[in-house]
Structure 1
Amino acid sequence: MAFGLLGCVVLCLLGAGPLEAGVTQTPRYLITRTGRQLTLHCSQDLNHDAMYWYRQDPGLGPKLISLSRNVDFTEDGDVPEGYTVSRKEKKKFPLTVKSAGTNQTSLYLCASSVSTARLSQLLSAQKGHHKSEESPSWGAPPQAGGKLPPPSVPLEALS
């Protein structure tokens, strides 16, 4: 397939492997043509009320796309344009990219927690060396000390 004039978008997701249940994102990596609608799936088996979708652009910190405090309750975050979410089941929080564009080439992160907190609060809760019940569970196995895993996938947009 020649990419020539066709635009492509690369979306990278961190996902928990089969050894570490908790929060799982699928697909793990995604490359698509510009203009296409696509859905990223997030599920959790922790019985958490709150779920979150973030995007992290290269060289920047994560930005909240949307959060859900519980079933049928969602709120827009800092970058809601171009995305829709729904929460029909407590375990699932899909994110739909309405029309993929090169400006959406990013690392997408899903998280869940017992109660609702913004990322700055979540990161503060993780600075200690123990994981409390209120610490978030991320869509990737955490490193020692409960810290966020670093992005390990190079991101790029193809056009």
Structure 2
Amino acid sequence: TLSQVVLVHRSSFSTGAGHAAVTQDPRIQVVRTGQSATLRCTQDMHHDSMYWYRQDPGHGLRLLHYSSATDTTYKGDVPDGYSVSRSSTENFPLTLQSANHSQTSVYFCASSYSTALQGHLLSVQKDGEALVGA
């Protein structure tokens, strides 16, 4: 019998300023379950921080792993089944150690000079509603 096939789709971003970019290649990758796969990400802007996210239908971006500098990596919110390395400022590959169907997703890599690792919660209330946290 044939093994299940996992589809991994990735996208690329450009800052629009010259040729500066975060690049992922190839754009589409198909692997069989149980195989390992590496998703390559490079950036040419000398950013210290790099991030890997996945986005599934009906969900927002979920942080897998991130790096604040060369040889410094951290686990994100959903790191299981993935590993990363950061041997240079430019490269931040993501490896699926043993691909399974639940890892079929859209993967995004990003970079920045710095980041806030906690976000803001904004609650918008209708007129007349009690303000929570005020």
Aligned-partner residue type, residue 49 of structure 1: D
Q: Deviations over 1:114-143 (max 9, x none)?
A: 01334847xxxxxxxxxxxxxxxxxxxxxx
CA–CA separation in structure 1 for the residues paired with 2:77 and 2:10:
19
2:14 is the counterpart of 1:8: no
- Partner residue, 1:109: 108
CA–CA separation in structure 1 for the residues paired with 2:109 and 2:59:
17
- In the alignment, structure 2 segments of 5+ residues that lack a partner are 121-134
Kept in 2, the 8 Å contact 1:37–1:98? The answer is: yes
Kept in 2, the 8 Å contact 1:83–1:96? The answer is: yes
Give the structure with the larger strand fraction. Answer: 2
TM-score by length of 2: 0.81
Question: Superposed, which structure 2 residues align to 1:71-86 within 5 Å?
Answer: 71-86=70-85
2:43 is the counterpart of 1:44: yes
Aligned-partner residue type, residue 30 of structure 2: I
**Displacement of 1:22:** 1.1
Which stretches of structure 1, 4 residues or more, deviate above 6 A after TM superposition? none
Aligned-partner residue type, residue 37 of structure 1: S
Residues 20 and 118 of structure 1, relative CA distance in 2, 3 Å threshold = farther
- Secondary structure (helix, strand or coil) at the match of 2:109 reads strand
User: Identity of paired residues, percent?
Assistant: 50
- Partner residue, 2:62: 63
Give the root-mean-square deviation of aligned CA atoms: 2.0
How many pairs were matched up?
118
- Partner residue, 2:127: none
**Displacement of 1:20:** 4.9
CA–CA separation in structure 2 for the residues paired with 1:120 and 1:28:
29
CA–CA separation in structure 2 for the residues paired with 1:31 and 1:10:
5
